[in-house]
Amino acid sequence: MAEKRKDNRGRILRTGESQRKDGRYQFQYTDAAGKRHCVYALNLVDLREKEKVILRDLEDGIRSSDSKKITLNDLIEIYLENHRSIRKVTEISYRKAINAHIKDSFIGNKPIANIRNSDMIKFYNSLLDKGLSSGYLHIIHAFLHPAFEMAVADDLIRKNPCSGVMSKIEKTETVKKKL
């Protein structure tokens, strides 16, 4: 019987795990496309947390390696190219909003895998702080939400970071108006 692989403290390592000479731990895995990937951590606990997320994504068919390469700007372009049912006037309105408020913002160049619900709330609040109306915010939300839904349907991300954001924004706006 083959001997189990161990780290320098004598702990048994799982399949795909190893310890490097510099003491860091690494986990090697193959994605659904057959491409090899490695993740690293300074300790075994952190590595196993990363490993758990990766294995869950692989099991569910989430293409997390692709979603780390696609930015929000890229996702919006893909969405607008794939949805020809959007009227030309509406697309012009969307592109105007994209160029004015998303393209160069902190969230525009962020990979979609790293965008969270809290990032969207922060982004929407920053637009309101700039003086944009809640109606204009609804226009922006009208293409961001379905773009993220498309990413969910394409198994790029697990859940839509825009879900429920507008109701939270509207609640805070109502509270601010009452004060």
What's the pLDDT score for residue 25? Answer: 95
| Rg (alpha carbons) of the chain, rounded to whole number | 21
Domains of the chain: 1-60 (3.30.160.60), 67-178 (1.10.150.130)
Name the DSSP letter for residue 4.
P
Q: What is the dihedral sign for C-alpha 85, 91, 95, 98?
A: negative
pLDDT at 62 over 80: no
Q: Where are the alpha helices (DSSP H) in the chain?
A: 44-60, 64-67, 72-82, 88-97, 117-129, 134-153, 165-178
Q: Can you tell me the mean pLDDT for 79-97?
A: 87
Q: Can you tell me the mean pLDDT for 65-76?
A: 88
pLDDT in tens, 46-56: 999 999 988 88
What's the pLDDT score for residue 178? Answer: 52
User: Which band of pLDDT confidence, cut at 50, 70 and 90, is reported for residue 173?
Assistant: low
Q: Can you tell me the mean pLDDT for 164-177?
A: 74
117-129 vs 134-153: helix axis angle to the nearest 10? 160
Helix (H, G, I), strand (E, B) or coil at 121: helix
What's the pLDDT score for residue 125? Answer: 92
pLDDT in tens, 12-53: 899 999 999 999 999 998 887 788 989 999 999 999 999 998
Dihedral in degrees, nearest 10, Cα atoms 44, 45, 49, 54? 10
Q: Is the model more confident about 164 or about 32? A: 164
pLDDT in tens, 104-161: 899 999 999 899 999 999 999 999 999 998 888 998 998 899 999 999 988 888 899 9
What are the structure tokens assigned to 179, written together? Answer: 């004060």
pTM of the model: 0.74
What's the pLDDT score for residue 158? Answer: 87
Question: Could you give the angle at the alpha carbon of 83 between the alpha carbons of 119 and 150, nearest 5°?
Answer: 40
Residue given tokens 């068919």 in the structure block: 61
